[in-house]
């Protein structure tokens, strides 16, 4: 699934942060399909930040409490605009036959 065609994922500062004092240890973050989190003796931690899908906030939307936060989306949108990522994604989706060309 194309999200950052031609742009390195590790150059995008998009990943969750956890406030350990606010975490109620509900475990919902452990459902992350990309394996961003790891559970240790103190609860969840962000173990693989660059595995997080840019723009996804499902864990923060579904968690109990207020422990998970993400950066503002405007910086990410600026990168997409500057690097012309939207047009590259559209072209890839057309080539994959997911949208008409």
**Domain-by-domain residue ranges, the chain?**
9-95
pLDDT of residue 78: 95
Residue for token pair 């047009």 = 87
Rounded to 5°, angle at Cα 11 from 5 and 14: 90
Residue 67 burial (10 A CB sphere; 0-12, 13-18, 19+): buried
pLDDT at 69: 97
Structure tokens at 70: 């993400």
pLDDT, position 30: 97
Which has the closest alpha carbon to 19: 56, 47, 49, 44? Answer: 44
Quick one: tokens of 56? Answer: 């996804």
How far apart are alpha carbons 83 and 67 in whole angstroms?
Answer: 32
Confidence (pLDDT) at 38 = 98
Digit-by-digit pLDDT tens for the chain (101 residues) are 578 888 999 999 999 999 999 999 999 999 999 999 999 999 999 999 999 999 999 999 999 999 999 999 999 999 999 999 999 999 999 999 999 98
- The CATH number assigned to the domain with range 9-95 reads 3.30.70.20
């Amino acid at each position: 699934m194309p999200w950052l065609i031609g742009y390195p994922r590790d150059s995008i500062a998009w990943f969750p942060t956890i406030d350990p004092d606010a975490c109620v240890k509900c475990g919902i973050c452990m459902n992350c399909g990309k394996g961003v989190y790891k559970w240790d003796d103190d609860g969840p931690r962000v173990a693989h930040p660059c595995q997080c899908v840019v723009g996804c906030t499902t864990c923060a939307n579904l968690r109990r409490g207020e422990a998970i936060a993400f950066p503002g989306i405007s910086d990410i949108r600026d990168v997409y605009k500057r690097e012309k990522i939207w047009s590259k994604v559209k072209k890839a989706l057309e080539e994959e036959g997911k949208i008409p060309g």
